[in-house]
Amino acid sequence: MSLPWWDVDELAKVRVLEYKVRKNDIAMWGYIKYEQLKPFRKWKPHRPKRVQKVNPETGVVETILNVKPPRTMKTIPMPEMEQEFYKGFIDWVYSCRTTEAIITYRPGSQLRDIHVYDPMWLVNCSAKDIECLFIHKIRYSPADKEQALQFQRVVSLCFQKGINSESKWKSSWWVLEEKMKKKAKRVRDRENRRMEENGGKFMKEQQEEKKTNKQKSEKIRIAFSRKPKEREENYKAAI
């Protein structure tokens, strides 16, 4: 992680929301939380360097932390949304406690909640679901009006422009997605070629090593299988 140490320290203490941590990151996240209790003996987060600068106007020496910009994702992952929830739709509200929109519907005999942490996730809903959310406005408390209306604005835009999971709308996202796919394919092909080349060299080295060991074992076997020559020993009597 490229975040400064105080951000990592706070992230390890706060409660994780219901959005599940990716399977490949569970072990690393657990290790970070474990190291935070030490604190950070083996795993070292980024600690900004202290730089002292003199203010030319006042002449006061100021201590500035040289914080490196964190590495961030260039494209936001868009998770798959549950489809056809309009059939048992009940209501959707904005939660100020978790800063998310919660869609409640009844697929059968039980109630089910859909947690939407980012308004842009709604673009992956079906056309009927978008229409349902457009007709039934989101509920919120007056203090959370600005945050809640972000979800409603995305729904309104999707309804007007026909943006949903069933249509491929005109956007630079698709061009960017195609570029990312081609780049990922090039990286995979390069890695596969490298593994094939290294695998061939490794197999040749293994075969040569096996052949050498076999020759040594054969020489040792032959040496031990030979019978020693009989020698006549003459003893002189001691006078």
9-45 pLDDT per residue, tens: 777 777 666 566 667 677 777 777 777 777 777 777 7
pLDDT in the model for residue 174? 63
Q: What digits encode the pLDDT tens for the residues 112-127?
A: 898 888 888 898 888 8
The answer, yes or no, to whether residue 75 has pLDDT greater than 60, is yes
Domain boundary among 17, 39, 66: 66
Give Cβ neighbours of residue 156 (< 8 Å, ≥ 6 apart). 134
Q: What digits encode the pLDDT tens for the residues 54-73?
A: 888 888 888 888 777 777 66
Residues 100-113, mean pLDDT to the nearest whole number? 89
Domain boundary among 128, 146, 161: 161
pLDDT in the model for residue 133? 92
Domain membership flag for residue 102: yes
Same domain, 56 and 106: no
Domain membership flag for residue 37: yes
Residue among 140, 139, 122 nearest 85 (CA): 122
The residue with tokens 């070292």 is 44
Q: Report the alpha-carbon distance of residue 93 to residue 120 in Å, rounded.
A: 16
pLDDT in the model for residue 173? 61
Domain membership flag for residue 149: yes
Higher pLDDT, 37 or 229: 37
Same domain, 96 and 155: yes
Domain membership flag for residue 41: yes
Range of the domain at 37: 5-66
Same domain, 27 and 60: yes
pLDDT in the model for residue 37? 78
Tally of domains within the chain: 2
Q: Which phi and psi (to 5°) does residue 73 adopt?
A: -75, 140
Domain boundary among 161, 178, 203: 161
The answer, yes or no, to whether residue 200 has pLDDT greater than 70, is no
pLDDT in the model for residue 99? 85
Same domain, 144 and 99: yes
Same domain, 91 and 150: yes
Domain membership flag for residue 71: no
Domain membership flag for residue 211: no
pLDDT in the model for residue 238? 57
Domain membership flag for residue 169: no
